[in-house]
Structure 1
Amino acid sequence: MTGLTVTLHGDREIRLSRDFAAPRRLVFAAFTRPELLVRWWGARGWHLVECEVDLRVGGHWRFVSRGPDGDLMAQGGTYREVDPPARLVCTELFDDQSYPGETLVRHDFTGSADRTTVVTHLRYATAQGRDTVLRYPMTRGLNEAFDRLAAALHTDSTTGATT
């Protein structure tokens, strides 16, 4: 496993990339199935307390996370493309968002039988929105979440759990 790579594209996009030692079908499932999302979504100390997924084009998703101090953070959106196990595209909007507009999120899953690279493109409505997000501890939080995902995937692959 390697760490998260973060690059900027244009003035509105952030590109994230991370490799996982697991097959694409399992990694895709971890991004789309509530019983798997609750195992890894969020930075250290944050946990999903609500997780709704209507995995179809036009379907909605909503996540509510609770932080270590009891703070709640809610976000949701609409699925625009669902192509398992290759691509997932959705919109994202936080309930208490500090920047304008919806974000378009595209996850591409590529790899071999036992390794998957997830490349995520975050396209913000404005350059101001992207710049606001970059001031947050987003990279640290995503690294922690993806470390949790890697551990969950490792557990599933070593125990033979099916997803």
Structure 2
Amino acid sequence: MQYKYLAALAFSSLTLAEPAVFNKGPLITDFGQHAKVEAMLPLPADAKFKVAFDVAEQAEPGKLNKRFNSLARFVNMHVANGVKAENIQLALVVHGKAGFDLLSEQAYRQKFSHSNANIALIKALADQGVQVMLCGQSAAAMEISAKNLMPEVQLGLSAMTLHALLQQQGYTLNPF
């Protein structure tokens, strides 16, 4: 009986906590909201990141791909916490059905009868130097033509090839 009371008390105090405040920017202002973390481990003043993100899951038609937004959050939260923007190099490797989220507006609308919510995000990422790459094997399997991709997207032989080349350049793989 005591345990039930303690669990109920603990849960009720959790539900009364203030919701986290997620901030915009500082570099990509329309995407990549992030929360301030109190008492976090300090980031080295000279921190450098070379990170590849792997995305295979497509967003619901007409919706933003949350995995793409993770790159904007990565940039924003690190710059907001003192990492120099020039010390952050990111690559987005897309394969599987997520390749559809890289279609141009015209091609996306033709396929899904919706606007592609990812276009502004991909442009903002590319403007920050993010390499946006699509697996050529997935593109072939999904019948995605290079001419139907956003101009910011580079087509590679395969996601496996892209990751191997990025690793040779010192990129680590972000598992999220």
| TM-score (normalizing by structure 2) | 0.22
**Rg larger in 1 or in 2?**
2
Q: Which is helix-richer, 1 or 2?
A: 2
Richer in strand (by share): 1
TM-score by length of 1: 0.23
Higher relative contact order (Cα pairs below 8 Å, separated by 6+ residues): 1
